[in-house]
Structure 1
């Protein structure tokens, strides 16, 4: 009996030791896999740290500092930079200009993307040419587009004023008149973003099954009604994504303003990002510039959360 119990105890010990060895081997394999995964992620993590996390932490630090005319940290001022911003006319002007710029560009850009995508979604001969033409602005850089539109906006040699003169309308000072400068920049921005909007909406249209549209036509729905009641609801996830990206992009616009108007005339095109650039890299006030950038980050974050909380409820997911 004792011998049998000893054999059972020995077998139990061997089983326990084999299970412990298996657990140790599994744990070692998991650690090895995790280490390999982090090894592959290391270049990306390094780039994120250098170009994202460090600048973010540096901006938070500088937003509580006062800098001298050379941009060097002079003294700690706490929240004085933020209180100075919220009481300055420049801050509220740039916020108003950015809001108007977003209002001018985002809805028109999305509608233009829907129209152009719907027109070229029809399978007709030579439609590839129009698809290429509508997508072409995506291939142009901001500087190239700015040169093109600077020529178009020229008060005496530009094509736009030439067209107006043929219609008997007086020429417009597109970029030097405070009442038209922001509209002019918005026109250029809508054209610049039209290629991206077109491709995104067209990909959304191509993902909609043709059977659903054909069934609606068989039931007696016309093309316009089928588009409104079937295509647009199925396209709502794409449009929601496009709206979020477009609003974020409009709040971050800088290149076309810097190249065409430099925030003028009279601050009529001084959007938020240009105010950050001017405050930090022209006035060398890195403290207030960092505070402005963090306020911009908070505004974009709040707007994005609002869209996901309220607007996404109206999105139809299949």
Structure 2
């Protein structure tokens, strides 16, 4: 049976714990929960300039989403963009991580090179790539011209713009994925490889029977964050194409930006933001459901 002194100590410890958590709760409340609540409120209302709620309109903005050709196109473009970027980023990062994990001369130098892009901001990376993709002065088109190949409108052609931005996104995401996967590879016990080698397992057998299964938790995590980051891509879109040409790169996030900050349709933009959250949540839950049986923890 608890005495009054014990109860008093538990209350004191509980209050002390809350005091330690209070700064976190305040930050989450101001920068996460409050914006979420306001976004939902805006999506159900007509909103005037300055974020002033005019009146409640119910599901008007949500119903308008299904009749908006621009929004439906942004959903299609977003999913195509995800299919372009996520598999290529993960495969390339895994390839580079496996190479950098080999006990070869100069491995540390290559690890530094593969990780260096992480120190460049998204805006700076996009500005660099803007020069590479320039239709007349761009490095890529100059290289193509050297081999007699006609120039390509990487960022000015609706057929190439999304692919070009996807390439830029892959390059911008390689370093983080590389570091995470390399860390996972270096945590795999060398004894497993030595035992497999003694049993006659070749390089590819060790890769697919030991490395990939034991790396599956990191691969699963990397896949999740890459899907989320792809759906939330904005900086490179804004700098490279501004959603064009002909809305070929108008991803959902950029559509939200245009509707709110350019056109002033705050209610409609908020409804798009809620729709993006639901899409991201559903895709993430599907990945958790599909991947839970394929992830092997040591």
Q: How far 1:69 sits from its partner (Å)?
A: 5.9
> Which residue, out of 257, 278, 283, partners 1:298?
278
Which residue does 2:64 correspond to in 1?
84
Secondary structure of 1:99's counterpart equals helix
Q: Deviations over 1:163-189 (max 9, x none)?
A: 111222111111011100011101110
Q: Is 1:231 the equivalent of 2:211?
A: yes
- Match of residue 102 from structure 1: 82
Deviations 1:84-138 (CA, angstroms, capped at 9, x unpaired): 0112111110001100110000000000111000001012222111101101111
Quick one: distance in 2 between partners of 1:237 and 1:66?
44
Displacement of 1:70 in angstroms is 6.2
Give the 4+ runs in structure 1 shifted more than 3 A.
Answer: 68-72
Take 2:141 and 2:292, find their aligned partners in 1: how far apart are those partners?
A: 42
Instruction: Name the counterpart of 2:242.
Output: 262
Question: Of 19, 44, 64, which residue of structure 2 is paired with 1:64?
Answer: 44
Equivalent of residue 313 in structure 1, options 287, 293, 296 = 293
Q: What CA distance in whole angstroms lies between the structure 1 residues aligned with 2:20 and 2:212?
A: 41
1:94 and 1:232 map into 2 onto residues whose CA distance is 35
1:216 aligns with 2:185: no
SS state of the match for residue 313, structure 1?
coil
List gaps (5 residues or longer) in structure 2.
Answer: none
Tell me if structure 2 keeps the 8 A contact 1:67–1:73: yes
Whole-Å Cα distance in 2 between the matches of residues 69 and 56 of structure 1? 19
Residue 124 (structure 1) aligned with residue 113 (structure 2): no
Select which of 139, 142, 159 maps to 1:159: 139
Change beyond 3 A, Cα 1:46–1:244: same
- State the secondary structure of the residue aligned to 1:67: strand
Question: 1:33-72 residue pairs with structure 2 within 5 A?
Answer: 33-68=13-48, 72=52
Distance 1:46 1:71, change over 3 A: closer
Q: CA RMSD in A?
A: 1.2
* Cα distance in structure 2, aligned partners of 1:93 and 1:26: 62
Q: 2: CA distance between counterparts of 1:268 and 1:26?
A: 66
1:175 corresponds in structure 2 to: 155
Query: How many angstroms apart in 2 are the aligned matches of 1:287 and 1:177?
Result: 32
Q: Report the alpha carbon displacement of residue 75 of structure 1 after superposing the two structures with TM.
A: 2.5
Distance 1:75 1:47 in 2: 29
**1:279·1:289 contact (CA, 8 Å) conserved in 2?**
yes
Q: CA deviation at 1:74?
A: 2.7
C-alpha distance in structure 2 between counterparts of 1:40 and 1:143, whole Å: 36
Q: Distance in 2 between matches of 1:138 and 1:80?
A: 42
SS state of the match for residue 8, structure 2?
helix
**TM-score calculated relative to the size of structure 2:** 0.97
Q: How many pairs align?
A: 298
Report deviation, 1:294: 0.6
- Could you tell me which residue of structure 1 aligns to residue 91 of structure 2? 111
1:179 aligns to what SS in structure 2?
Answer: coil
Work out whether 1:199 is the aligned partner of 2:179.
yes
8 A Cα contact 1:71 1:284, kept in partner: no
In structure 2, the partner of 1:252 is 232
